[in-house]
Amino acid sequence: MANPSSKKSGVILVVVLLILAALFVTGYNGLVKKDEQVKLKWSDLQSAYQRRGDLVPNLVSVVKSSSDYEKTTLQQLAAARANAAQVTVNANEASHANYTNQEKAQGEVTNSMNRIIAVVENYPDLKGTKNFLYLQSQLEGTERRIKFARTAFNGAVADYNQSVRRFPSSIVATLMGYKMKEGFTSDAGAEQSPEIKF
């Protein structure tokens, strides 16, 4: 006949193991969900950058339609856009160094676009056209989307990092190889986001 205390101990052990298994599964699934959120928010940011890049040919086209334009400035913008298109970062490869490279390339696009806008200032007839006004609105909206996407990405990274560091999910994170992620940070003195000035 089985000892009642050993039977009770066996039941307690099974219950404890089930609780630990449930905590492990819950922690793991939570980490997976938050990791996927980081990837999604990074993809949203890439999409906003792509939208900016897609608007560049339209800007070039509108400016070219003017009888006089600065060809060098348009060439610089086209080159900056091509460079930015080559510097894309997969969500699985997101790191501070990759963010910096991509932001540098995106900054060159913004600076080139600002030079184009400065050229447009010399052509009031171009500045007032319906196409230019529409494009101006699209570019301003795109810059807002980029700012929002960066903020959302950093929020997702912070949420993920909290889960990686919190107990008991930190144990699951360590066992399953989940590591802290770096969020987007700006360079010193870059408190103001680059704006396209019209």
- Provide the residue ranges of all domains of the chain, joining segments of one domain with +: 32-176
Helix, strand, coil percent values for the chain (each to nearest 5) = 80, 0, 20
Which pTM value belongs to this model? 0.71
Q: What's the pLDDT at 195?
A: 55
> Closest by alpha carbon to 106, among 60, 63, 69, 143?
143
Whether the pLDDT of residue 196 is over 60: the answer is no
Instruction: Judge whether 94 and 42 are in contact, CB under 8 Å.
Output: yes
> Closest by alpha carbon to 42, among 188, 194, 181?
181
Instruction: Judge whether 5 and 120 are in contact, CB under 8 Å.
Output: no
pLDDT digits (tens, 9 = 90+) for 139-154: 888 888 988 998 999 8
Q: What's the pLDDT at 67?
A: 47
Q: Which burial class, exposed, middle or buried, applies to 18 when counting CB atoms under 10 A from its CB (0-12, 13-18, 19+)?
A: exposed
Whether the pLDDT of residue 162 is over 90: the answer is yes
> Closest by alpha carbon to 88, among 58, 59, 47?
47
Q: What's the pLDDT at 66?
A: 60
Looking at the domain 32-176, which fold is it? de novo design (two linked rop proteins) (1.20.1440)
